[in-house]
Chain A
Amino acid sequence: MTLTWTDWQAIAVPLVLAIGAVAVLLVDSFWRSASAELRHTVVTLLTSVVILFGLVFVWAHRDDFKPAFCRPAVEGPAQCSLVFEPLTAGLWAVLLIGGLGVVGLSAYRLLAADVPIGEYHFLLLSALTGATVLAGARDLATLVIALEVVSLPSFAMVALRRDRRGSEGAMKAFLVSVLSTAVMLFGVSYLYGVTGSLYLSTIANRLTGLDPDLARVAFAAGLFVIVGFAFKIAAVPFHAWLPDTYVGAPVEVTTFLAVVSKSAGVAGLLVLVTSGIAPDGSQLQTVIAILAAVTMTVGNLAALRQVEAVRLLAWSSIGQVGFLLAPLAVDNAQAVVGYLAAYVVVTLGAFGAVAVVQRHRPAGLLTDYRGMVRSEPGLAAALIFFLVVLAGLPPGLAGLFTKFAAFQAVIDGHLGWLAIVMAVNVMIGLAVYLRWIAELFRLPADDPFSVDIETPAVTMISLCTAVAAVLSVLPSIMFALAT
């Protein structure tokens, strides 16, 4: 097999990201003469340009269909390692926007001072490379390795501040991740054993019509693979590492975990499901549905009594994953991608606001936000908007419609019980976010939060607000991502 032009085109974005990663590292390492600020600026710009290239590429090729690394199969369609199709484009767009947002958040004066800049951006771009490949991967080997490429740099980033909390968080995430990788690989090995192939399309073909004994093994294998992803996206009961890691990591890295890492996991799972590894009505769909129900309930309930902002966001992101899993269970890519898009944008914004506050009030308690509506009306309004979108209530129509799409998917998928659970969770979720919003409006006991907000933060948060507002008015954009 030789690499064709199509192959190159299909992997252009990951490739450029990888090259960019190396370039960033080199620039940072070998341009020691420049001041830290300058290096930071240059590195940030370089990273942004690379990601922007990816975005432009995705935009230009949004309707293309480009299978790459293919070989003719014995039966069925050609087996490919990577396919660029509209769904991939949508996922890439979400991932790259997330990455770009994190880069923006890590811009000068916001990133913790003792994080090495070059390595940070290198790892970020590496993880993005993995994420993009993951979203396009169509064979199990690529899928597993790409997932690792997302995970390992993320954990390195968690510990990059090289302090006590960071290392502990990284250790937890790492251990859980390694276990999940092992479990997933174990599942992969059985899938290979049962079907004799690593290509998803071929596996999906051969999974139908297995004899019962083999089907049982195939179910266990599929379960293991899904569980592996469930670890990464922190679905309950594989979630427990997440709050600790989120709290241990610098806020920017937490944002990265919440936005890119998690989206990548969802993207991988989506690829698996849409490729037919969990055919209609199979028990694996039930597994995902159960995961969704348990995840959203536990996540939202646990978030109900949190007193720290980041921890609340951590738990609520678990809850959101539950909502993401719900349409995933019924194989509705459009709803998933739409939800992911809204989630990424507002999570970026919310973490951006948290980053600003956390910089000046390291404790990060909810009470630190008291009276912010008065003292920092702009920031407070943006934060409220993000939270409302997360809760899925007007004026956060972006959140409302993505939840709506999730409901629609679940209803269309005949999972009535899951829909009811989701309805309950809409209520619990609202209770979670309202607590925070109420703090913002409460009159402060002592001096309320009020600072000069860093320019990159202002830019980032305004951008997120603007995008979320646009998505709220024209929600069809979100749902057009995956069609």
Chain B
Amino acid sequence: MLLAILVLPLLAAGALWSVPAVIGDRLAAAYGSVISGLVLVGSVLLWPQNGGWFAYGPQDEPRTEIDVAWIPSLGVRFHLGVDSISVPLIVLTALLTFLCCLYSLKITPRIGRTRSLIALLLVIETGVIGTFSALDLVLFFVCFEIVLIPMWLVIDIWGDHHDPAGRKRAANTFVLMTVFGSALMLLGFLLVQRVAGTLDIVELTSSPVRGGHGIPLVAALLIAVGLAVKVPLWPLHIWLPDAHAKAPTVGSVLLAGVLLKLGTYGMIRILVPVLPDATATIAPYLGAFSTVAIVAGSLACLAQTDVKRLIAYSSVGHMGFIGLGISTLSPAGLRGALFANIAHGLITGLLFFLAGAIKDRHDTSDLRTIGRALYARLPRIAALLTFACLASLGLPGLAGFWGEMLVLLGAYHPAPWLPRTTFLVFMVIAGLGTVLTAAYFLRLVRNLCQGDPAENPPAAFAVDLSRIELVTWAPLITLTVLLGVWPGLLLQQWGAL
């Protein structure tokens, strides 16, 4: 099943490219929807039958689907498998891709060429699912990189049509920074291999590389920096606002909803279990940078004038929470990070959909140009935006809360070998960060949705929520509420983390 959902989109993308361009954009989107829908079904079938199966230790094996030698001379294996950490993320990926394809049925970037866009989305899906299911460090690296070129194309071709130079720069910065980071990560992997003699994650997890200094520390640092670029952690986040702001709607959704998770997933999957001692050494610094990210991201949001950039910066803050959760190395913190991963994917995906919808209607994402009083002009979209903002600022009862809460709980009670006082300081600062988060989202709502309708004439052709938008966004809204009121849905999966 796993292999099927990996290969299916890839083959489908190939097929889509090989057919001549005569097939219409609608048909291509429908085709993409069907394929990604199948993948979604498949990924849901991966969902564990009974909870609490997870291999962070030697006691349980992850559900391995495939394990064959790939390049024996380099010690690389083609080893795929899933466990409760990866399955929710895979489902999230499949869901968001499906929704993006569905969205493309009606709403596509102005540049056109939807056929290629759909194909690229499918390739991205393969890469991301591959990363989430890779159990070999090199395979992880490979899948990690698969995503880059398609995403680069998506930003470079379908990006903001007002600013060709800007979107090119954004795409290049994105891809180059990530590649540099992942090259460093690869170095870290190789150091791990030199010490441990294997690249297999399962083996490495059951017999981790001990020692918090010397080569393990260097390896951990390299891996952490590589993943931090992807996360992205302050101060390596500089690629993110541009990339998100310039990307087309579906690109932003996937970028924020899925791609950012690769970094945090890598930390949880590789850094923490494989290099436990070295990770403990760097954890306070990771936590510090994450905390700075939370505050800096929120502060930057407060001064943004572009709605997509604002949401992008908000991702910096949210990913900071996830980083902080990981750095606590505690059960609560790690679970919080995992939960926040999913929640952020749903909520920020929704936010970018909404921002895209607003941008499409006004042909700009600049707050001042869009004007205010969206409540009057686009009441439904504005209401959904408010909802998404509330969810994103971590309102209890919605999905965003539990991740942040568990992260803070983890910071209150970090792993015993970490300096507790430091993490208490992080917790307090992060807590204040949540207030700042609320502040900028309220500012967004205030500047965008509220205001005197008389002074803000409605844009021409501005139609409120269309049917396709409702259909694509409904699952995200539903899941946001569902996970908000029933966090156990996910938390129960991570039995013995």
Contact = CB atoms under 8 A, between A and B. Distances in A.
A touches B (Cβ under 8 A): yes
Contacts of A419: 187, 190
A393 B123 CA distance: 14
B194 interface: yes
Interface in A355-407: 381, 388, 393-395, 397, 400-401, 404-405, 407
Contacts of A404: 74, 76, 138, 141, 186
A185 interface: no
B180 A434 contact: no
Interface string A156-172: 00000000000000000
B149 A422 contact: no
B175 A423 contact: no
A346 B346 CA distance: 41
A197 B146 CA distance: 52
A37 interface: no
A84 interface: no
Interface in A132-185: none
A427 B179 contact: yes
Interface string B22-55: 0000000000000000000000000000000000
Contact of A480 (B70, B73, B152): B73
A49 interface: no
A63 to B, nearest CB: 15
B148 A393 contact: yes
A404 B127 CA distance: 19
A374 B186 CA distance: 35
Interface string B402-424: 00000000000000000000000
A34 B73 CA distance: 51
A334 B176 contact: no
Q: Chain B CB within 10 Å — which of A381, A395, A420, A483 has the most? A: A395
Contact of A401 (B74, B168, B187, B191): B74
A151 to B, nearest CB: 32
Contacts of B149: 388, 393-395
B270 interface: no
A300 to B, nearest CB: 12
A416 B152 CA distance: 30
B146 A394 contact: yes
Interface in B469-490: none
A215 to B, nearest CB: 30
A42 interface: no
A430 B187 contact: no
Contact of B142 (A334, A394, A408, A480): A394
B187 A476 contact: no
B78 to A, nearest CB: 10
Given A393-B179, A427-B183, A430-B176, A401 B71 contact: yes
B183 A422 contact: yes
B72 interface: yes
Interface in B432-474: none
Interface in A430-444: 430-431, 434, 438, 441
Main secondary structure of the interface of B (DSSP, over half): helix
B447 to A, nearest CB: 36
A313 interface: no
B127 A479 contact: no
A476 B179 CA distance: 24
Nearest to A388: B149
A193 B450 CA distance: 89
Interface string A443-483: 00000000000000000000000000000000110011001
Contacts of B183: 422-424, 426-427
Nearest to A476: B71
A301 interface: no
A404 B172 CA distance: 23
B190 A407 contact: yes
Contact of B168 (A394, A407, A438): A438
Contacts of A431: 172, 176
A445 B17 CA distance: 24
Contacts of B138: 404
Contacts of A427: 176, 179-180, 183
Interface string B161-187: 000000010001001100110011011
Nearest to A431: B176
A441 B138 CA distance: 30
B142 A400 contact: yes
Nearest to B127: A394
B156 interface: yes
B146 A395 contact: yes
A309 B142 CA distance: 28
Nearest to A422: B183
B476 to A, nearest CB: 29
Interface string B183-205: 11011001101100000000000
A426 B190 contact: no
Given A412-B194, A420-B187, A475-B70, A441 B156 contact: yes
B306 interface: no
Contact of A408 (B72, B184, B193, B218): B193
A411 interface: yes
B145 interface: yes
Nearest to B177: A427
A423 B152 contact: no
B146 A476 contact: no
Given A408-B193, A412-B194, A394 B71 contact: no
B73 A393 contact: no
Contacts of A411: 187, 190-191, 194
Contacts of A395: 146, 149
22 contacts: A393-B148, A394-B142, A401-B71, A401-B74, A404-B74, A404-B76, A407-B186, A407-B190, A411-B190, A411-B191, A420-B184, A420-B187, A423-B183, A423-B187, A424-B180, A427-B176, A427-B179, A427-B180, A430-B179, A431-B176, A441-B156, A483-B73
Nearest 5 A/B pairs, CB to CB: A423-B183, A427-B180, A394-B146, A411-B190, A479-B73
Interface of A: 334, 381, 388, 393-395, 397, 400-401, 404-405, 407-408, 411-412, 416, 419-420, 422-424, 426-427, 430-431, 434, 438, 441, 475-476, 479-480, 483
Given A393-B148, A476-B73, A479-B74, 15 more contacts: A393-B149, A394-B127, A394-B142, A394-B149, A400-B142, A411-B191, A419-B187, A426-B180, A427-B183, A431-B176, A438-B156, A441-B157, A476-B71, A476-B72, A483-B73
